Amino acid sequence: MAKLAGKTAYVTGSGRGIGRAVALKLAAEGAQVVVNDLEAGPADEVVATIRAAGGEAVAAVGSVTDPAFAGRFIAAGMDAFGGVDIIVNNAGYTWDAMIHKMSDEQFEAMLDVHLKAPFRILRAAAGPIREAAEIEAGDGREVFRKVVNISSVSGTHGNMGQANYASAKAGLIGLTKTLAKEWGRHKVNVNCVAFGYIETRMTAVSDEKRSVTVDGNTVTVGIPSKVIEGVKASIPLGRAGTPDEAANGVYLFCAPESDYITGQVMLVDGGMAL
């Protein structure tokens, strides 16, 4: 039997890259998934892929930085599936600059997407989680729920040119540890996965300057080949991770085997931060 059968999982930024891999992994283990992306196309494609494999999924399109998004996101899953069992706060991007060249807008954009958005989503989920936990406790049942916040080795160790991103990801670790204490009595495991170098469209090798627009901001994507070689040389396993490998790390904190693990930060980085 699939380990997540009957569970409803909410995954932000799951139309592409790591988030997509997480959504497909959780669905493959039986979860009903609420898929999110900035655009309808990628979100609908993931929903269709899950349904084609025999799973259940719905899309909740929109920016996680929209103040109204969190309520709509949780409502989408409650309306479709009736519960909140797993939340993976994955959506995000980078907007790099050395601190003397970084604008207030750049700094605040990273706080908004990587820290304030997860806060709002978890706050929106608090009511349904508490209500369900009270009923289960009254029935003498112990039912565990899972929150997995996605951080980075930039948040645990810092990184040049990422004062904004590193600060937001470090703050997310603080939010993780605090909610682990607040929600433990409700049987919610709140943990954090910090990624190292994972190959995605944002981190692909590129010796030409490329940019994309994310949530209204134009950001540079791709990493020069010379830089990539240096990064790989610093990873004991000798290569970047794949989105599927990243998703496997997230799944560890969603599975029943993690029911007595909370408030932890697990690095999925091939040993990069050793």
DSSP class per residue in 201-232: TTT-B-SS-EEEEETTEEEEE-B-HHHHHHHH
In the predicted structure, residue 168 carries a pLDDT above the cut 80: yes
Q: What is the pLDDT of residues 72-94, one digit of tens each?
A: 999 999 999 999 999 999 999 99
d(CA 92, CA 146): 20
Tell me if 113 is assigned to some domain.
Answer: yes
In the predicted structure, residue 25 carries a pLDDT above the cut 90: yes
Tell me if 154 is assigned to some domain.
Answer: yes
Tell me if 274 is assigned to some domain.
Answer: no
Q: Which two tokens stand for residue 223?
A: 């990493």
Length of the chain: 274
Tell me if 247 is assigned to some domain.
Answer: yes
Q: What is the pLDDT of residue 81?
A: 98
Tell me if 16 is assigned to some domain.
Answer: yes
Residue type, 11: V
Q: What is the pLDDT of residue 71?
A: 98
Q: What angle (nearest 5°) sits at the alpha carbon of residue 167, between those of residues 274 and 13?
A: 90
d(CA 172, CA 166): 10
The string of DSSP letters for 172-195 reads: HHHHHHHHHHHHGGGTEEEEEEEE
Q: What is the pLDDT of residue 206?
A: 65
Tell me if 232 is assigned to some domain.
Answer: no
Q: What is the pLDDT of residues 170-186, one digit of tens each?
A: 999 999 999 999 999 99
pLDDT band at residue 114 using 50, 70 and 90 as cut-offs? very high
Beta-strand pair 210-214/217-221: antiparallel
Tell me if 106 is assigned to some domain.
Answer: yes
The total number of structural domains in the chain stands at 1
Q: Which two tokens stand for residue 89?
A: 């706060």
Tell me if 37 is assigned to some domain.
Answer: yes
Q: What is the pLDDT of residue 207?
A: 64
> What strands lie across the sheet with 265-268, from one edge to the other?
57-59, 32-35, 8-11, 86-89, 145-152, 188-195, 265-268
Q: What is the pLDDT of residues 191-234, one digit of tens each?
A: 999 999 999 987 776 667 777 888 888 888 777 777 888 889 99
Q: How far is CA 179 from the centre of its chain?
A: 16
Burial (CB < 10 A; 0-12, 13-18, 19+), residue 133, is buried
d(CA 58, CA 81): 9
**Residue 201 backbone phi and psi in degrees, to 5:** -65, -25
Q: What is the pLDDT of residue 161?
A: 96
d(CA 123, CA 178): 13
pLDDT band at residue 243 using 50, 70 and 90 as cut-offs? very high
The continuous run of DSSP H or E covering 46 comes out as: helix 40-52
Q: Which residues of 197-206 are buried (b: 16+ CB within 10 A; e: fewer)?
A: bbbbebbeee
Q: What is the pLDDT of residues 36-61, one digit of tens each?
A: 999 999 999 999 999 999 999 999 99
Please tell me which residue, 214 or 130, carries the higher pLDDT value. 130
Active site residue 165: yes
Which of these is catalytic: 93, 165, 197, 251? 165
The tally of CA atoms less than 13 A away on the side-chain side of residue 37 is 20
Give the 3-state secondary structure of residue 10: strand
Domain of 181: which CATH number? 3.40.50.720
In the predicted structure, residue 159 carries a pLDDT above the cut 70: yes
Q: Which domain holds residue 184?
A: 8-197+242-268
Nearest to 161 by CA among 82, 219, 115, 210: 219
d(CA 216, CA 203): 19
Nearest to 55 by CA among 74, 91, 86, 30: 30
